[in-house]
């Protein structure tokens, strides 16, 4: 019985982080803009200019990779034709 309880506690810890969005359809609003996991995006600036892709993950908690006040939004872009 104790082993089962330990596994359940570990599973809860490994589950989705409170401030992460990574499943298709998850919605996140920041500064009156809505971002949806799986939504198509178009890069208009930076090294990724003119590429199409989709939102894969949004991080807003302590596990963010970039030091800024906004969320980290991770996208996957398709290769240009």
**22 in Cβ contact with 59 (< 8 Å):** no
Say what percent of the chain tops pLDDT 70. Answer: 78
Q: Give per-residue pLDDT as tens, 52-65.
A: 999 999 998 877 87
d(CA 40, CA 75): 9
> Considering the domain boundaries, does residue 27 fall inside one?
yes
> Considering the domain boundaries, does residue 56 fall inside one?
yes
Query: Quick check: pTM over 0.95?
Result: no
Say what percent of the chain tops pLDDT 90. Answer: 44
> Considering the domain boundaries, does residue 49 fall inside one?
yes
Q: Give per-residue pLDDT as tens, 25-50.
A: 999 999 999 999 999 999 888 777 88
Q: Which domain holds residue 33?
A: 17-77
Residue 18's pLDDT is what?
62
* Strand pairing class (33-36; 52-59): unpaired
d(CA 26, CA 37): 5
The structural domain count of the chain equals: 1
């Amino acid at each position: 019985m104790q082993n089962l309880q330990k596994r359940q506690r570990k599973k809860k810890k490994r589950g989705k982080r409170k401030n992460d969005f990574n499943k298709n359809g998850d919605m996140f609003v920041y500064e009156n803009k809505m971002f949806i996991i799986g939504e198509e995006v178009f890069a208009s600036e930076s090294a990724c200019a003119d590429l199409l892709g989709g939102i894969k993950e949004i991080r807003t908690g302590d596990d963010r990779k970039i030091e800024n006040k906004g969320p980290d939004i991770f996208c996957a872009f398709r290769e240009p034709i």
